[in-house]
A and B are shown apart, each in its own frame.
Chain A
Amino acid sequence: MHEQIQKRIESIITNLDQLPSIPDVAGRVINMVNDPELSFKSMADEISKDQAITTNILKLCNSAFFSKGKEITSVDRAIVTLGIKEVKDIVVIAATREVLNKAILGYDLQRGELWTHGLAVAILAKKIALAKNKKAVADVAFTGGIIHDVGKTVLALFVSNTFKEILSTVESKKITFNAAEREVMGYDHQEIGEKVLAKWKFPEVLKAMVRFHHDPALAPKEFLEMVSIVHIANVLCLMGGIGIGADGLYHELSDVAIKALGVTNKELEQFYSDLPVVLKQTKDML
């Protein structure tokens, strides 16, 4: 364990200013959608306060993945046409792009690779949720997919200095990459991701999805299904090479997650086989 590195990471996560920021509108909208009394108008007003993001949102509304055919030219129309949950996801994409769409050198990811990976995991997670009859939370699966690796953006700097040691710890102790991150640096990218989400004021379910996406067995029971969806979507995208970085496949495909969702071998292979379609939908969004 490198105590100095651990201390530096500690000072970053206890000092909110040093963690990545996103436009406040994302945190507000994400919490709004849980209010059953929410009116279209109050959501549209909230989004429209941030002019910079509105332009991006309208562009995404008209992308192949979200578009319902008719061109959308205002936030009001977007909410009416696409629905509150879809627009919430679009706000999250627009708000997090700057933080996630960059090179993550410690993990050997070129610019755009982490971003593409997050969107692909989001799309596949939504597919899995729908296939397993969880339509009501499919949008949450999508949001979790986008941001699950946000901790990597903070930890990358330290991973570039300790990568060899992390990998040799993986091999000597037969533990997964994130467990080795903890051994070497005191923290893994999941824990850092959870801190980032706390700063963004994201809800508990999303924090759990970020915190346990490699360790579903440790997730609180009430969030196990959601964590499992993102876990499986993430593993399948990595197996397909989408956003695979220096940590490679040094992770676990968790049996707990497979059982929690009741995914059969056949379904698992089908989701994996869907990757080319998922990737095409991802590119339409970029």
Chain B
Amino acid sequence: MNSLVNVGVSQVGFAAQPSVLRTILGSCVGICVYDRMKKTGSLAHILLPNNPGDGNPEKYADTAVPLMVQRLIKEGCKKEFMSAKLAGGAAMFKFNSNVALGQIGDRNVEEARKMLEKHGIPVVAEDIGGNAGRVIDFFLEDGRLKVKAGGEEKLYYKV
């Protein structure tokens, strides 16, 4: 049985096989971290890149990543078996380049990459940018990621 867990905006979900973590993304980024030995993982739905110190670590890329790693290690996962996938970070089709929020998707992706690199977790797949919304399903049985966007589905198996 694949039990489906919905992860909301600025939440971090944790699960082990055979569960599936799902979220829906616009400019937000879904950060998926997977331990291929423990078959356990975490999905963060981050809204913004940097935490101004507002007590919501799950909402920002720079504080969500350490939170995910710590919790996974507490569950018995090991950094050397972890890998990450990124999805989301879309932008509005048209906007004035003076509007800083227009680039928020790119900034979210950049910060997520930076934090994962800092923790030594390789990013093995990305489905980012563009203008489509994405529904992503992160399968903990094998770490694969299904991305549904613009009426089409893509699968990323690498872990």
Where the two chains meet, the residues of A that have a C-beta atom closer than 8 Å to any C-beta of B are 108, 163-164, 167, 170, 176-177, 235, 238-242, 244-246, 248-253, 255, 258, 265, 268-269, 272-273, 275-276, 279
A245 to B94 CA separation, bound complex (whole angstroms): 17
Nearest-Cβ distance from residue B6 to partner chain A, whole angstroms:
11
Total contacts A-B at CB 8 Å: 113
Query: What's the dominant secondary structure at chain B's contact region?
Result: loop
Given that A163-B151, A240-B27 are known contacts, is A248 also in contact with B9, CB under 8 Å in the complex? no
In the assembled complex, which residues on chain B have CB atoms less than 8 Å from the CB atom of A244?
24-26, 133
A250 to B91 CA separation, bound complex (whole angstroms): 9
Q: In the complex the two chains form, is A272's CB within 8 Å of B104's CB?
A: yes
In the assembled complex, which residues on chain B have CB atoms less than 8 Å from the CB atom of A249?
26-27, 90-93, 131-133
Q: In the complex the two chains form, is A245's CB within 8 Å of B133's CB?
A: yes
Q: A170-B93, A265-B99 are in contact. List 16 more A-B contacts (CB 8 A).
A: A238-B133, A239-B26, A241-B23, A244-B133, A245-B133, A249-B93, A250-B131, A252-B93, A253-B95, A255-B96, A255-B99, A269-B100, A272-B48, A273-B48, A273-B59, A276-B9
Nearest-Cβ distance from residue A261 to partner chain B, whole angstroms:
13
Nearest-Cβ distance from residue B31 to partner chain A, whole angstroms:
14
In the assembled complex, which residues on chain B have CB atoms less than 8 Å from the CB atom of A279?
8-9
Asked whether B101 is an interface residue with its Cβ less than 8 Å from the other chain, the reply is yes
Q: In the complex the two chains form, is A272's CB within 8 Å of B26's CB?
A: no
Nearest-Cβ distance from residue B117 to partner chain A, whole angstroms:
25
Given that A239-B27, A242-B9 are known contacts, is A250 also in contact with B93, CB under 8 Å in the complex? yes
Interface residues of B in 32-74 (CB under 8 A from A): 45, 47-48, 56, 59
A239 to B45 CA separation, bound complex (whole angstroms): 13
B interface residues, how many (CB within 8 angstroms): 35
In the assembled complex, which residues on chain B have CB atoms less than 8 Å from the CB atom of A272?
47-48, 101, 104
Q: List 6 A-B contacts (CB under 8 A).
A: A239-B104, A240-B9, A241-B24, A253-B92, A268-B99, A276-B9
Interface residues of B in 78-130 (CB under 8 A from A): 88, 90-96, 98-102, 104-105
Which among A108, A177, A250, A279 has the greatest number of chain B C-beta atoms within 10 A?
A250
Which among A239, A246, A273 has the greatest number of chain B C-beta atoms within 10 A?
A239
In the assembled complex, which residues on chain A have CB atoms less than 8 Å from the CB atom of B59?
273, 276
Nearest-Cβ distance from residue A104 to partner chain B, whole angstroms:
14
Nearest-Cβ distance from residue B116 to partner chain A, whole angstroms:
21
A279 to B9 CA separation, bound complex (whole angstroms): 8
A256 nearest CB neighbor, chain B only: B96
Q: In the complex the two chains form, is A276's CB within 8 Å of B94's CB?
A: no
Q: In the complex the two chains form, is A248's CB within 8 Å of B150's CB?
A: yes
In the assembled complex, which residues on chain A have CB atoms less than 8 Å from the CB atom of B90?
239, 248-249
